[in-house]
Every structure is written in structure tokens, then in C-alpha cells.
Amino acid sequence: MRRLVKAILSAALLTGFGGGAGAQDYPSMSLKFAHLTPATFPGAPVDKWFAEEITKRSGGKIKVQVFWAESLGKARELLDLVRTGAIDMAATPAGYFPNELPLVGMTNSVMAIFDDVEQAVRVTSELATTNKAVAAELKKNNIFPVFFHGVNGYRTFCTKRIQSSDSFKGLKIRSWGEYVPILWQSLGATSVNVLAPEIYESLQRGTIDCAFWPNDVVYSNKLFEVAKFASDYHFGAIPTWPVWVNWKTFHEVWPENVRKLFLDVGKDAAAMDIRLMREADDVALKTMTDKHGVEVVKVSDREKLRKAVPDLLNVWVSKMEAKGLGKEAQEIAQYVNQSISKAK
């Protein structure tokens, strides 16, 4: 997988991503970029490219040093470190902060909305730049997303075959947050909160019967060694982490050419990320089936399964109404549904 990512990344660089440094007068800047994942995690090579491309296009004036694997702070600390100016940039998911980011974090937390990774990233990016309530939430928290990453459709990888909607009943499936447990409950399964580093051992010991991740993430974490049955049914793609910067610094301190540079490179990085995710997903599944004995199990009653899962976006709206954010949530849900419908 690492060779695949390097090959695709190299091809992207040769086929139109990026440009040479312009003659603009950029200020000299040295920025610290704190990352929640290791450099080998799916999507991380794009952030490495992003950092290097900022330096390249600024003619070496703006240097970005990436600190991988929570070496500057834990994932749930990074937002506050950016907000207060303790660090310059950070990569951590909005969904980790339901109290601070109940609106923009929705697309990272609620499953079964987006058909694919491009849709998830596009709609979330649009909300961050066009929706007044989301923009106000970002400004209030003093953070700004330069661009969003995404992941492919989440599916179950299990130690048992899931051949129909009834096969979920009684299974113990990895879960997190507020909305994934609702998903499993609707199918008669039991939710088990398991941290990402503990999934492999949990499958091995029988603490859980199924992992819940996209193909490429399952492959990179070698879960195919302990979960041999992949489902052909996925429960939607989501955006993952944005690259965050300090809102006030971005809008009031950085000159216009620096802001434009970051947004331009961020746009290219997001497009690259989508391309990498799509290609990595296909290759990962083929590798696991061809070389590691993974069996793709077809769900026989896909429509029954789809109807069994409640509209989790409406569930989110109801929860936001209880927090006094009903109007804002309704507008966001309407925009999401309309944006998805237009793309079909």
C-alpha cells in the first residue's frame, strides 16, 4: 500500500498538480503543523505534499514542518492549540469536538449520508464556506479549515459472514460517537466502543465480531489477518480531518497572497486526496482478496437493509433542536439533501 500511495502521488505531481514558485513577495514564515496520524496513514502523504508545496510555491519563503502521530499534542487537544495560537496548523477531525463544533462536525459524525468520498468532501467544504451558521461557529472557535480530507465508504469486516440484514442481529460491532450506535441498534447489533489502535486485538479476542472502516484503512491496519469477511455493502463515506489554521491569523494577519496560496494548494490537495482514496480503496480490496484470503460477502436484501437504518441526518437535526440549534440544523440538512440530489 505504501508503494501504491507513492506511485499515485508521483503521478499526480507529474500530471497537473502544483506549479512553480511565483514571483510574489511572500513573507518569511516558519509554521508548525501538528498531525494526529502517522506519516504512513492513508491521506497523510497528501498533507506532506501540501506542506512541501506551500514551500515550493512560495519560493522557499514559507516553511511548514509537520509533526506526525500526535507528537505536539493529542488529537483532542489540537483544536485548542490552534485556536489559542500555540501551534500554527493542525489535522484533527471536527467530529471529535461535538460541543465546540456541533454543526461543522456533523458530516464527520453522521453515517449513511454521502454516496462517495468526493461528495462528502465537496458538500462539507461548501458548508464551511457558504453556510452562515457554520461560518459563525468556525469564527467563534477561532479556527478555519483550509481543506478537508475524506475517506471511502465505511463497511464491516467481520469474523463471520454477513449475508443479509438479519445477519447483523447479535453481532458485536465497533462503534464510536452518538450516531454509529443508532445505526447498529437499528439492525439488532451491539455497539462496542473500541479505540482505533485496539481494533485488531479486539477482533482477535472476540471482543468484537466486526470492524467498521473503509477497505484501504482496513488494509493499512492489517485487519484482514483477523477478519476475513468483507461486506459488499457500505454505509457511506465521510470527510475526515481538515487542515485547521487560526481564524484570526488567517483572516487578519496573513496577507492576501498567503491566504490565496494556502487555499489554492489546499484545493489541489483535496482533489489529490479524493483521487488517492478512490484508487487505494480498489487496490486494497483486490490485494486482500487475491493475496490474503478475504472473502467479499454479498448482502442479499440490500433494500431491506437500507430501509432498516433510520435517517440519521434527521436524528441529528432532532438532537440539535434540543440544543437550541434547530433552525441552523434544518438549513444545513436541507442544503446537504439538495446538494446530493443535484449531483445525481
pLDDT in tens, 97-149: 999 999 999 999 999 999 999 999 999 999 999 999 999 999 999 999 999 99
Whether pLDDT at 21 is above 70: no
pLDDT at 18: 44
For 155-236+291-343, the fitting CATH number among 3.40.190.170, 3.20.20.70, 3.20.190.10, 3.40.225.10 is 3.40.190.170
Indicate the pTM of the whole model: 0.90
Q: Tell me the C-alpha distance between 196 and 176, whole Å.
A: 10
Whether pLDDT at 81 is above 80: yes
The three cell numbers locating residue 47: 498533507
Whether pLDDT at 292 is above 60: yes
3-state DSSP assignment of residue 295 = strand
Q: Which long-range contacts (CB under 8 A, 24 or more apart) does 173-176 make?
A: 173/208, 173/209, 173/210, 173/212, 174/199, 174/202, 174/208, 174/210, 174/211, 174/212, 175/212
| Domains of the chain by residue range | 2-107+114-149+240-282, 155-236+291-343
pLDDT band, residue 344 (cuts 50/70/90): low
- CATH class for domain 2-107+114-149+240-282? alpha beta
pLDDT at 163: 97
